A and B are shown apart, each in its own frame.
Chain A
Amino acid sequence: MVNPIPAAQVSSEKDIAGVEVKPEVKVEIQNLSFFYGKNQVLRNVSLDVPAYQVTAMIGPSGCGKTTLLRCLNRMHDLYPGNRYEGSVRIYPGGTDILGPGMDPIRVRMRFGMVFQKPNPFPKSIYENVAYGLRLQGMNKRRDLDERVEKALRESALWDEVKSRLHQLAHNLSGGQQQRLCIARAIATDPDVVLFDEPTSALDPIATSKIEELIVEMKRRVTVIIVTHNLQQAGRISDRTAFMYLGELIEFGETNRMFTNPAKPQTEDYISGRFG
């Protein structure tokens, strides 16, 4: 039986004067448990996700990392019989997104999500990006144009699609479709963008573009990414959380975790001995 890490997760760093500073926390997950019906999938997970950093979640299949990610935008609410325990607070404000009365749609506005396989809507490129904005009540053409262009530029897609914004999104390549999904996710200005293995269906060149994009994005938003690709976690994340059997085993700076993990289970996993 492995023990979850109990307390404060975000370790301090030193500023240029050598003074210890604690990174600002964006999402505070406390004692989070999750049940698919009677089946408990997450066990008492506590984790402070730092703001404006990339946090990677790694672990063998079935360890609960995607389940945890989906808790953050209340995606499990779409299916009956699912149950959360614990809290997930988002800062500033400290609102508990699992709290009673919290509208899942509003939660999803603050937590954008990009999935494993590119899933653009069967609409034009423009309409895909404008979709969330329209849901937010934005209807003026000029405002929409501005925000669509901004999102497409930030997802490094603008130059490739600016001349065919009204063509079907499905005509784009796989990598372009995934960047379109990123544009769609960031168009509504979320606080956090969740990525669930965003490059597992892409070739190395498309993967590299998405990775560059994620690193670039952290200047504006907090990023949480689930990945099976340890090298990807190493390349793009600032911090890594290792999960196993529904528990958080270790969370820390990626460099430290990949060169000198504190827990034997983490070491076994990243060195390819199980999972």
Chain B
Amino acid sequence: MNEPTMEANEDRLERVRSYFRGDLLVLREALLRMASLAHTNLSIALESLVERDPVKAQKVITDDQEIDRLEVEIDEMVAGFMATQAPMALACRLMLAASKLCNDLERIGDQAVSIGRRSIILTDEPPLKPLLDIPRMGVKVLDMIRMATDAFVEITPEKCAEIIKMDVRVDEINRQLERELTSFMIEDPKTITRALNLMLVARFFERAADHAKNIAEQVYYLYTGNDIRHEAELNKS
């Protein structure tokens, strides 16, 4: 297949950009605000864990309300637009994507809250071990969310494949952490509570990565019309 020329690509971008006006522009801005808040909250949750700072953890819990509010607002916008405008083509895909994106972003916000809560519990006890893998994992997940948001803003669906690959790496780190923390628990039962809490934190980041992957898949669908969800599993079967 021939690569699209630069002119054709610019034409395509202009066509997509032209959709984002009026109500659709407002919807896009609300999604971006939500993505930014979800990213910030997850980032602060990671800081609260690494810095053992319960104040930051509490802030994550409080700020989540704004993400929840935006979820409701975006759903209302989508329902209103579908009922009154009968969206077609990219606008139709945007409605579907927006509804799913805001759900995934809200879930990322929830994971941040769960990490914040565990972080407060972990602060009460001495550290089990220097935190290396969890911050590494957290930074990767934050990168995934940022990259997925960038792909949405910059209309670059081709970047979504990279995000989907990153999720595999996050899963690997999570499995490695589970093994390591299990060995801690076997060696010294006094570490069980802390190890379990860290295991949960790792699981929360892993889930946030899954949501970031979902967002990337939705962005890909939005701009190309191709659904790449569960592609590997479907191909296998």
Complex contact A267–B93 (CB within 8 A): no
Do A230 and B88 have beta carbons less than 8 Å apart?
yes
Evaluate contact between B92 and A267: CB separation under 8 angstroms. Answer: no
Whether the Cβ atoms of B19 and A271 lie closer than 8 Å is: yes
Cα distance, A87 to B18, chains bound together (Å): 40
A-B contacts, 16 of them at CB < 8 A, read A258-B92, A259-B88, A259-B92, A259-B225, A260-B89, A260-B225, A261-B89, A264-B15, A267-B15, A267-B89, A270-B89, A271-B19, A271-B87, A271-B88, A271-B91, A273-B18
Q: When each residue 253-267 of chain A gets 1 if its CB lies under 8 Å from chain B and 0 otherwise, what string results?
A: 000001111001011
Task: Name the residue among A230, A260, A273 with the largest chain B CB count within 10 angstroms.
Answer: A260
Interface contact A231-B15, CB-CB below 8 Å: no
Q: How many angstroms between the C-alpha atoms of A57 and B157 in the bound complex?
A: 32
Q: Chain B contacts of A264 at CB under 8 A?
A: 11, 15
Interchain nearest-CB distance for A18 vs B (Å): 12
- Best-surrounded residue of B11, B19, B88, B92 (most CB of chain A within 10 A): B88
Give residues 86-100 of B contacting A (CB, 8 Å). Answer: 86-93
Query: Which residue of chain B is the closest to A272 with respect to CB atoms?
Result: B88
1/0 contact trace for A231-265 toward B, CB 8 Å?
10000000000000000000000000011110010
Task: Indicate if the CB atoms of A231 and B93 lie closer than 8 Å.
Answer: no
Pairs of residues from A and B, 6 with the lowest C-beta to C-beta distance, nearest first = A260-B225, A270-B88, A267-B89, A271-B89, A231-B86, A259-B92
* New A-B pairs, 19, CB < 8 Å, besides A260-B93, A271-B87: A230-B88, A258-B88, A258-B89, A258-B92, A259-B88, A259-B89, A259-B92, A259-B93, A261-B89, A264-B15, A266-B89, A267-B90, A270-B88, A270-B89, A271-B88, A271-B89, A271-B90, A272-B88, A273-B18
Within 8 A of B (CB), among A14-44: none
A42 to B91, CA, bound (A): 31
CA distance A267 to B11 in the complex (A): 13
- Residues of chain B contacted by A230 (CB below 8 angstroms): 86, 88
Interface size on A, residues (CB 8 A): 13
Count how many pairs of residues, one from A and one from B, have CB atoms less than 8 Å apart in the complex.
31
Chain A residues in 8 Å Cβ range of B18: 273
**Complex Cα gap A261–B15 (Å):** 13
Contact indicator per residue, chain B 49-89, by CB within 8 Å of chain A (1) or not (0): 00000000000000000000000000000000000001111
The interface bits of chain B over 1-25 (1 if a CB of A lies within 8 angstroms of the residue's CB, else 0) are 0000000000100010011000000
Residues of B within 8 A of A272 (CB): 88
Q: How far is the CA of A55 from the CA of B62 in the complex (A)?
A: 55
Q: Give min CB distance, B192 to chain A, whole Å.
A: 51
How far is A261 from B19 in the complex, measured between Cα atoms in Å? 15
The distance in angstroms between the C-alpha atoms of A267 and B19, with both chains bound, is: 11
Which chain B residue shows the least CB distance to A230?
B88
Complex Cα spacing A83 to B91, Å: 41
Nearest to A229 among chain B residues (CB) is B86
Q: Which residues of A contact B19 (CB under 8 A)?
A: 271
| Closest A residue by C-beta to B91 | A271
Chain A residue with Cβ nearest B227: A260
- Cα A271 to Cα B19 in complex, Å, equals 9
Name the residue among A264, A266, A271 with the largest chain B CB count within 10 angstroms.
A271
Shortest Cβ distance from B2 into chain A, in angstroms?
16
Q: Which residues of A lie under 8 Å from residue B11 when comparing CB positions?
A: 264
A260: which B residues are within 8 A, CB to CB? Answer: 89, 93, 225
A261 to B93, CA, bound (A): 11
Shortest CB-to-CB span from B224 to chain A, Å, is 8
Residues from chain B with a CB closer than 8 A to the CB of A270 are: 88-89
Q: How far is the CB of B16 from chain A (nearest CB, A)?
A: 10
User: How many whole Å from B95's CB to the nearest CB in chain A?
Assistant: 10
